[in-house]
Amino acid sequence: METALKQKLRQKIEAFRPRTQKLTKELANLVIDKVNIGQAIGGARDVRCLVTDISYLDPLEGIRFRGKTIPETFAALPKVPGKEQPFVEGFFHFLLTGDIPTMRETQDVVEDWRSRSAVPQYVFDVLRAMPRDTHPMTMFSAAVLAMQRESLFAKRYGEGGLKKADMWDPMYEDAMNLLAKLPPIAAAIYRMKYKGDTLIPADAKLDWGGNFAHMMGVAAPYDEVARMYFILHSDHESGNVSAHTTHLVASALSDAYYALSAGLNGLAGPLHGLANQEVLGWIQNVMKKLNNKLPTKEELEKFLWDTLNAGQVIPGYGHAVLRKTDPRYVAQNEYAKKHLPNDPLFQLVNMIYEVAPGVLTKHGKTKNPWPNVDAHSGVIQWYYGVREWDFYTVLFGIGRAMGVLANIVWDRGLGYAIERPKSVTTEMLEKWAQEGGRKEALGG
Ligand code: HAX
């Protein structure tokens, strides 16, 4: 029997299709952007060529999930009984459908994910076969990829007869199966790598976030941190490396396992998700050089300049789209103010916030001197005892999986095409530059 969530999604997809069909059939030639040489060479920055309705990133306001700001989202979602944070399961219902779920609808997802959460033994065997100094992101991505044989999408496609209009269905099943398994896999990687391979079995009474904290072996209120963290890191519209990669790979009708594993590989880069690990490393380095004392503002300013003068970036600062402090940073800062106000690393993070934007502005390169999500996240993990900072991007990856998987389900629902932008040669660019711009591109 189809779950209520799947039925709702089916209705939503069917109701939405005419809008996409009208745009692609009748209005396809309407120009919504132009591309210049800087954008072609410079990472397609700001080029409007992706469509998603799951989240939107305004440069000054930050992310909105399905039209809601972060505080509005947290306020609206059903809370875990006795806790301050919402159910992550309810948030996923919201991302996928655009509707804030009732408690009943939320519980349905809790039970659905629980029923899908058993991880095949061969995944642990694959992970155990890897050298113990393998980066946890490599292990996480490999575990997801290893499970590709479970893909219902690949199976149905391979059997033949899977119609384009039905493709979202097995994609949804794969997404749900994957999401249910990510927390036990991530916690197993953590326990294998850093806790002598002592895995903690799931507790069937707990929700997704609570169970993750339990399987990590970290006491409350880490469950609350997990819930908050997964929601905050879930989605950041479609152009970021992890979201775009997942979408791109899935556009070839590769299944969710292939696509998510690829997206995680992008998240593992230091300019993207790995920045949260880099931030902690940078902060620890500052503290170490000062024998674990907090720096003065002058000392901190010097550390920041030393980093920039060595040709490195200040991790956790700057953004490709945002032009103000990331509201995901603000949400974590508010949590920390309430729960760990006297923590020295938290104080240092606040001090960096006072000094770094001025230094970066003086340095004059970055378009955005303000902090992004990664400037804060590691410090909260550290406080609760998760101090193995090379694990932090895995936490990001669990959250990000919700956004990218919701997106590829909708991609198939709306029949988005295989992605294939056009490339040109440097010689062409030089020639067009000499001609004063490409005539065709300018409509000449
Ligand atoms: N420190 C030093 N220099 C920086 C900088 C920073 N934090 N942020 C940007 N710059 C530099 C860029 O390296 C670039 O220099 P070059 O011209 O020499 O190449 C210049 O400023 C212009 O860059 P930009 O247009 O402002 O930024 P981009 O869109 O090119 O890059 C990045 C955006 C997030 C990659 C960039 O700001 C950065 O490297 N930040 C540090 C790493 C980081 O925090 N990454 C996480 C971002 C959020 C995220 O995706 N999380 O997963």
**pLDDT interval class at 441 (50, 70, 90):** low
Protein residue with least CA distance to atom 12, ligand 1: 366
Q: What is the mean pLDDT of residues 365-391?
A: 96
Q: Cα–Cα distance between 326 and 317 in angstroms, integer?
A: 10
Q: Would the pLDDT of 438 be above 70?
A: no
Residues 131-145: tens digit of each pLDDT: 999 999 999 999 999
CA of 264 to the centre of ligand 1 (A): 20
Hey, what are 328's tokens? Answer: 């995901």
374 is catalytic: yes
> So what's the pLDDT on residue 440?
56
Among 234, 272, 313, the mutation site with the greatest number of ligand 1 atoms within 8 A of its Cβ is 313
CA pair distance 384, 393, nearest whole angstrom: 16
What pTM does this model have? 0.96
Ligand 1 centroid vs 314 CA: distance in angstroms?
Answer: 8
Beta carbon of 264 within 6 Å of any ligand 1 atom: no
Contact, 396 vs 263, CB < 8 A?
Answer: no
Q: Among 235, 240, 317, say which to mutate for ligand 1: greatest number of ligand atoms within 8 Å of CB.
A: 317
Ligand 1 proximity of 275 Cβ (cutoff 6 Å): yes
Mutate to test the pocket of ligand 1, among 271, 314, 322, 396 (most ligand atoms within 8 A of CB): 271
Closest CA to ligand 1's atom 29: 320
Contacts 24+ apart (CB under 8 A), 4-12: 4/105, 4/108, 5/93, 5/96, 5/97, 5/105, 5/108, 5/109, 5/112, 6/169, 6/172, 8/97, 8/99, 9/96, 9/97, 9/168, 9/172, 9/409, 9/413, 10/169, 12/97, 12/98
Set 233, 244, 247, 319: catalytic member? 319
Residue-wise pLDDT for 259-283, tens only, equals 999 999 999 999 999 999 999 999 9
Residues of the chain with CATH 1.10.580.10: 1-272+404-444
pLDDT tens profile 37-50 = 999 999 999 999 99
The pLDDT confidence band at residue 341, using thresholds 50, 70 and 90, is: very high
For ligand 1, is residue 372 a contact (CB within 6 Å)? yes
Mean pLDDT of the chain: 96
Q: What is the mean pLDDT of residues 206-214?
A: 98
Q: Which CATH architecture has domain 1-272+404-444?
A: Orthogonal Bundle (1.10)
Summarize the confidence of residues 409-431 as an average pLDDT. 97
Cα(309) to ligand 1 centroid in Å equals: 15
The finding on whether 377 has its CB within 6 A of some atom of ligand 1 is no
260 Cβ neighbours under 8 A, 6+ residues apart: 144, 178, 246, 401, 404, 405
Q: Report the alpha-carbon distance of residue 7 to residue 14 in Å, rounded.
A: 11
Mean local confidence (pLDDT), 246-270: 98
Tens of pLDDT along 2-38? 999 999 999 999 999 999 999 999 999 999 999 999 9
Q: Looking at residue 444, what is its pLDDT? A: 42
Band the pLDDT of 439: cuts 50, 70, 90. low
C-alpha 197 – ligand 1 centre gap (Å): 37
319 carries an active-site annotation: yes
Nearest atom in ligand 1 to the alpha carbon of residue 321 is 29
What pLDDT score does 1 carry? 80
**From 235, 326, 374, 411, active-site residue:** 374
Tens of pLDDT, residue by residue over 307-337, are: 999 999 999 999 999 999 999 999 999 999 9
Task: Assess whether pLDDT exceeds 80 at residue 442.
Answer: no
Q: Does any ligand 1 atom lie closer than 6 A to the CB of residue 371?
A: no
**What distance in angstroms lies between residue 419's CA and the mean position of ligand 1's atoms?**
26
Mean per-residue pLDDT, 426-432: 96
pLDDT per residue as tens digits for the range 57-98: 999 999 999 999 999 999 999 999 999 999 999 999 999 999
**CATH superfamily placement of domain 275-389:** Cytochrome P450-Terp, domain 2 (1.10.230.10)
**Angstrom distance (rounded) from CA 14 to CA 12:** 6
Q: What pLDDT, on the 0 to 100 scale, is given for residue 292?
A: 86
